[in-house]
Amino acid sequence: MTATMPVYRGPAADAWISKNLTAGASHALDIDVRRKQEKLSAAVRDIIATVGSGGDAGLQAIASRIGDKAPRKLVLNATALDALAGRLPQSTKDVLSAAAANIEKFGRAVVQSVKSSTVDFGEYTAGFEMRPVKRAACYIPGGRYPLPSTALMTAVTARVAGVQDVCIVSPRLCDEILYAGSLASVTEFYEIGGAQAVAAMALGTETIAAADMIVGPGNAYVTEAKRQLFGRVGIDMLAGPSEVAIIADQGANAKWIALDLLAQAEHDPDSRVYLLTDSVEMAEAVAAALPLLMAEMAGLPPYIGDVLEASAIVVLPDLQECARVSDLIAPEHLELHVKDPQGLKNSVTSYGALFMGYCATVPFGDYAAGPNHTLPTNRSARFAGGLSPLTFMRGQTWLNVKEGAAKLASTTADFAAIEGLLAHEAAARARL
């Protein structure tokens, strides 16, 4: 693993931006990719249909067909929880508990920032309030690494939102995930993964009660199942490969930046990492540090070199141009390694989560700082935000109309007449 990141400056930087980020950039899928996506979509449709018609038997049939273990339900009662706590080192429990406390504290602040509203119009009053969904399913991936952090980020956040019925679904229910769930008072766990898990949570089976909302990242099958079932069930987002953009000035620490790029690159072979800087020296220092750090760290995944080669270090005229290009990337994570991060914050608008200052790093947000790590990817930060307690809540309005609300009834009837909806008009005039 000796690869490093390509550095673009001057006309090469302009060409890279034009090719990859501007409105005229070509994002058309080649025929092979399109065929793979169509094949994936068809496979997921078949899985959903099998679960929908067969329930538990359908899940068993899918597991047998692909060589998976049979789905397993686990109820974490007091006895099981005591046994679990005895198996885990105290240090592990302390770390998970500390992270859970921060996530809960931050989430409660978000909930408290949203106030119910009542408006008095004289003839009637109108109001707005937020209400949590009744049942949420938290999907925890079981791929290269166990992710108790995702169990905390999803389940604790759901509880803070007021969701009473929360379950955790994962193809790999390790003790750390179980304990993380217990910190959110989750007692219902299912060891099942893939599109079939999403289908079961959306449609319900004899064993698994259907959820109102499914949250949490997953592989391409999980994401496609969420896409196809959205509308039948609520979802948080369609998560793609992880990404980070770092804006750095000449005062930044090149080694820290290189480490942050490597940390994001180790997530997935399709991860992308970007450094935007106004300093040629910083760009060269980071590019030189990457292979040295890779050589020092045994055990990094073999695909990191490919991720770096597909990513970019871009040298731009000034930090304002870095901010502009960052908004074009609309990254999942954005780090501001600059002298005045608060000042530059006013110039960036499209990101999932922002990390400000030379000492900030995405791993702080991944684990223990408090804000959520389930974030929009693939430029969706232009129109979507990350997981929060508000994800699990529905904005609801109400009207309380007094007798003799003549002005409201008359205006409504006249408006209905403009649109030609006769029954609407009649219903309003009847109140006059």
Q: What type of residue is 338?
A: V
pLDDT at residue 26, as a whole number: 54
pLDDT at residue 143, as a whole number: 75
Per the CB < 8 A criterion, the answer to whether 156 and 104 are in contact is: yes
Give Cα separations from 49 to 42, 191, 207, 346 (angstroms). 11, 20, 17, 48
| Same domain as 247, residue 155 | no
Catalytic residue among 191, 243, 267, 333: 333
Establish if 146 belongs to a structural domain.
yes
| Same domain as 256, residue 177 | no
Establish if 395 belongs to a structural domain.
no
Active site annotation includes 333: yes
Establish if 412 belongs to a structural domain.
yes
Residue ranges in the chain whose pLDDT is less than 50? none
Catalytic residue among 176, 332, 335, 425: 332
Q: Token digits for 238? A: 């369609």
Name the residue range of residue 224's domain: 72-116+131-236
| Same domain as 220, residue 82 | yes
Establish if 184 belongs to a structural domain.
yes
pLDDT at residue 10, as a whole number: 96
| Same domain as 362, residue 253 | yes
Active site annotation includes 332: yes
Phi and psi at 293, nearest 5°, equal -70, -35
Give the position of tokens 């859970």. 100
Query: Which of 236, 269, 291 is at the close of a domain?
Result: 236
Cα separation, 432 vs 232, in Å, equals 40
| Same domain as 78, residue 213 | yes
| Same domain as 142, residue 209 | yes
| Same domain as 206, residue 181 | yes
What single string gives the DSSP state of each residue in 344-380? HHTT----SEEEESTT--HHHHHHTSSS------TTG
Cα separation, 256 vs 262, in Å, equals 10
Phi and psi at 189, nearest 5°, equal -130, 145
Q: Token digits for 255? A: 């080694």
SS3 category, 195? helix
Domain tally, the chain: 3
SS3 category, 15? helix
| Same domain as 376, residue 265 | yes
**CB burial string 214-246: b at 16+ within 10 A, e below:** bbbbbbbbbbbbbebbeeebbbbbbbbbbbbbb
Establish if 336 belongs to a structural domain.
yes
Look up residue 30 and give its DSSP letter: P
Establish if 40 belongs to a structural domain.
no
Q: Residue 372 CB: number of other CB atoms within 10 A?
A: 26
Cα separation, 337 vs 359, in Å, equals 8
What single string gives the DSSP state of each residue in 172-184? ---HHHHHHHHHT
| Same domain as 324, residue 244 | yes
| Same domain as 344, residue 246 | yes
Q: Residue 181 CB: number of other CB atoms within 10 A?
A: 29
pLDDT at residue 33, as a whole number: 82
Query: Which of 202, 236, 270 is at the close of a domain?
Result: 236
Cα separation, 292 vs 254, in Å, equals 12
| Same domain as 297, residue 167 | no
Displacement of CA 50 from its chain's centroid (Å): 28
| Same domain as 196, residue 285 | no
